[in-house]
Structure 1
C-alpha cells in the first residue's frame, strides 16, 4: 500500500466534501485496496486522518523550505508564505475544520502546522532585521502571532468570502510589513 497515495486521495476527498462525508470505505474502494489490508493499517477514521494530517505537515515543511530557497527577498518570502497558508486553509471544504474537532489528535496537528508557520515568520523577520530591511525594534513575536491569528480564525470557522480573502490578506501583510520596514525594506516591498 502506497501511504503517500492513500493520504493524497484522502486529503483530496476531505478538501472536496469534508470529514463527515469522506468515508473510509470510499477511500479504500477508490484505491482498490483489500479490506483486510486497509482496515488493518487504519482501524478507525481518526488513525487515517492523523496519518494524512502528519503527511500534509511534512509536505508543508518541504514547501516552506522550497519557498525559502527560491525567493531572494526575505520580505517577499513572508508575503508568499502568508498568502500560501491562507490559501491552504481555504482549500478545504467549509465544514472540514468544524468536523475535524471530533478528532482531537488530528485537530491538534493543525495547531502544530500553524506553530511551524509562526516560527518561520519569526525566523525570517529576524533575518529582515539583521539585513536592515526591518527596524531593530520590530517585535517579531507579536508580528508572527498576529499573522497566525487570522489563520487560526479560518481554522475556527471565521470565514471571509473566499474571493475577498486573498486581496485582504495581501493588503494586511503588506501594510504590516511597511510599518516594520526600514526605508530600504519599503523600497523592496514597493519595487
Structure 2
C-alpha cells in the first residue's frame, strides 16, 4: 500500500515536471518545433517514460493549455476578491493578458489550431467564458460603469472576430502586436463606457502608457 502511494506521488510529481517543461518550451518556441524527444531529454528521462505519462503530443499539449487556463481562473478569482468594480477587473485582466502575449511566441497561437482536440476544448471554454462575460458586463451597467444601450453579446462577437484577425493576418508585420491589441481593447471599452467609466478608463490608460516608457 505505502509503495503504491509512493509510486503514485512520484508519477504525479513527474507529470507536473513534464507539464512545466512543456509549457515553457511551447510558449517560447511554438508547438511544432518542439518534439517529445526534446522534452524527454531536457527532463533527463527516456522517451518511453514520457509516453507512459502522456500518450502523445496532443495529450501533453492539452494538459499544458489546461494549466494556463487554470492560472488565468485563479488570477481572476484573486482580482474579484479585491476589485471595487467590473472595469477594474477588466483592466487588470488586460494587463495580465498583455504579459502572457509578451511571453508567448505567436507561433503557439497559430499552431494550436492544428490540434483538433485542444482547439475544441479551448472553444468550449471560450463559449462558457463569453456567456459569463455578458453577465459580468451587465453588472457593470448596474454599477454605472457601462452604458445600458449596448448589446454585449454582439460586441463580444465583434471583439472575438477582431482578435482572430489579429492572430491570423499579417497586420503585425506593419504594427506591433501590442499596438493592435491595445487599439482593439481600448476602442471597445471606450465605446461601451458611461462618462464615469470613461474617466476611470482614461486614468488607467494614462498611467499604463506612462509605465510603458
Q: Does 1:26 align with 2:38?
A: yes
Deviation at 1:10, TM superposition (A): 0.5
Q: Which structure carries more relative contact order (alpha carbon 8 Å, separation 6+)?
A: 1
Structure-2 residue corresponding to 1:55: 67
Structure-1 residue corresponding to 2:182: 170
Q: Does 1:136 align with 2:152?
A: no
Are the equivalent residues in 2 in contact too, given 1:9–1:27 (CA < 8 A)? yes
**For the aligned residues, what is the CA RMSD?**
2.8
Query: Matched residues in 1 for 2:102 and 2:20: separation?
Result: 17
Structure 1 alignment gaps of length 5 or more: none
Q: Does 1:46 align with 2:58?
A: yes
Structure-2 residue corresponding to 1:109: 121
Are the equivalent residues in 2 in contact too, given 1:6–1:31 (CA < 8 A)? yes
Structure-2 residue corresponding to 1:187: 199
Q: 2:80 aligns with which of 53, 68, 91?
A: 68
The 3 A distance-change label for structure 1 pair 109 and 157 is farther
Point out the more displaced range, 99-108 or 10-19.
99-108
Query: Matched residues in 1 for 2:118 and 2:144: separation?
Result: 40
Deviation at 1:174, TM superposition (A): 2.8
Larger radius of gyration: 2
The 3 A distance-change label for structure 1 pair 169 and 101 is closer
Query: Matched residues in 1 for 2:70 and 2:23: separation?
Result: 14
| TM-score, normalised with respect to structure 2 | 0.74
Structure 2 alignment gaps of length 5 or more: 1-10, 204-213
The 3 A distance-change label for structure 1 pair 65 and 143 is farther
The 3 A distance-change label for structure 1 pair 56 and 151 is same
Structure-2 residue corresponding to 1:95: 107
Secondary structure of 2:172's partner? coil
Are the equivalent residues in 1 in contact too, given 2:28–2:104 (CA < 8 A)? yes
